[in-house]
Structure 1
């Protein structure tokens, strides 16, 4: 475990995390560009289908892995949660400004904190409570309930964030029972299989251009997870976590320049509060030798 005063290779870690942010914002932008032309379940199914192709080497290595009894029930429940999450996410992404999607998505690790503290016996110490309260304040600044309409798209993204958070809890348990490559590969398989019947039910003709864009989405998502892993290896989370705030700035610029979305200072402020809360918790968890969760793309 890296010592608190060991910054590793901070410049390299920051650069890898910058690449991660660009990859994830690229994912958001392309899905926003595709809009409502394809049903959410169909677009998600195609994206994960391409993702499976990228994960073929990991799937091949699974053939000789022995897994403990009962693990497939956990894999199944995580698959169900992730299927639900990605459908909500794809549906919301076509309807909510890019910057707001990015800001709300950063609530993912905060929700994990609450679940782990209340249901998994980790407790909610003063630091965690402060982090949660600051993040909730940031979410209220972004959504501003009572001052403007909260759309179905906002609720869909909130639902996706909750499902991603619970999925992370299952992943945390599974990581102690199977190699990480197996956990990731099985997730891709179960999500693809789970999305298949829903996608077929709502299937619409797909153009070559749409297929190409969704292949790029799968590639960028895979690249983002890879660069995030490299960032974590290069430098501690306390160094790389604050860089994630730039995702909100890039998402705001993308929404304004490409989609003509108004720049909302409240979204930037609220997002900054949420990222600050996550960064505060990251620093506290690092002191305890834990690796806190990261936002899902």
Structure 2
């Protein structure tokens, strides 16, 4: 965690969050390119295999983590849930526009808030309930059921956000006893293991081009995680969270200019509502936790829904 005195550089925090957003959007675009030549499940598996290289700096945290029955169960369960989320996300990326993937992914923190109230006993105040309602309205605007076809890609993205929410709730439980860096590192290992049987079922020999793209994807993902960590160290989440809105703008521009996807104003409007709700909840959490020493959580520590989703 960082102390309040360490988080007094808002412009620096916004810059690093901006860099993280660019990294994630670039990664999304590469996954979309890859979707035309490789099964999404195989691509997800190889992305995590290559990503294991970036765990080398965390080897001390891995070695120092007690592998009790409880910890192994939580690691394994979270690995399976997160693996499902990753497979659904890679599938959705190849089926629906970049802007829609980005907008719908903003729902993950909303699911975390609901899950924390339902399963962890956290209080759900009226203001949070109102923010959740606004976010749901945003999703309805993005999907517009009855006015256009809701494709399997849209359903996969809804499932992605929901599964990621479950993953972060487990992380929220785990960081009570385990160092956040170890929780993050173990996630990559267990997701890779969970993806093995699915990847074997669809395996096709990858080309050197595809392998090269996946190496860059893993690099972008790791860079995005690192930049977001720097952002959280430099400024409060309430300051840096609104910067993530730019991801929706970049995804829309990239989808239009590179993938010839039409600009859907309703996606921008719905995504803006979802992000506004997330930003409000984040701001309220920052106000409520001000001056309190609390353990890091997926929303307040070294790992956030936006940070470790890939």
Q: How does 1:1-297 map to 2 (within 5 A)?
A: 8-59=8-59, 61-289=61-289, 292=299, 293-295=304-306, 296-297=309-310
Which one is further off, 28-37 or 141-150? 28-37
8 A Cα contact 1:67 1:178, kept in partner: no
Q: What SS does the corresponding residue of 1:44 show, helix, strand or coil?
A: helix
Q: Is the 8 A contact 2:136 2:274 kept in 1?
A: yes
> Residue 18 of structure 1 contacts residue 244 of structure 1 at CA under 8 Å; is this kept in 2?
yes
TM score, norm. by length of structure 1:
0.95
- Could you list the per-position Cα deviations for residues 126-168 of structure 1 after superposition, in whole angstroms to 9, with x for gaps in the alignment? 1210110111111111111111000000000110110010000
- Aligned counterparts of 2:258 and 2:65: Cα–Cα separation in 1: 46
Structure 2 segments unaligned to the other structure (5+ residues): none
Structure 1, 65-74 or 188-197: larger mean CA deviation = 65-74
Q: Deviations over 1:222-279 (max 9, x none)?
A: 1111111110110111111111000000000000000000011111111110110001
Q: Secondary structure at the match of 1:55?
A: helix
CA RMSD of aligned residues (A): 1.7
Aligned residues of 1:21 and 1:244 also touching (Cα < 8 A): yes
Q: Are the aligned partners of 1:71 and 1:177 in contact in 2 as well (CA < 8 Å)?
A: no
Give the TM-score taking structure 2 as reference length.
0.91
Within 1, Cα distance between the matches of 2:255 and 2:142?
15
Deviations, residues 79-106 of structure 1 (Å, cap 9, x unaligned): 1101111111111101110000000000
Secondary structure of the residue that 1:288 maps to in structure 2?
A: helix
C-alpha deviation, 1:6, in angstroms: 9.1
Q: How many residues align?
A: 296
Partner SS for 2:124:
coil
SS at 2:279 equivalent: helix
Output one character per residue of 1:199-232: Cα deviation in whole Å (capped at 9) or x when no partner.
Answer: 1111012111100101111111111111111101
- Which whole-Å deviations, capped at 9, do the CAs of 1:43-93 have from their partners, x for residues lacking one? 011000000011123135522443555111111100110111111111110
Q: Distance in 1 between matches of 2:3 and 2:138?
A: 31
In structure 1, runs of 5+ residues without a counterpart are none
CA distance in 2, matches of 1:103, 1:155: 13
Contact 1:30 1:217 in 2 (8 A): yes
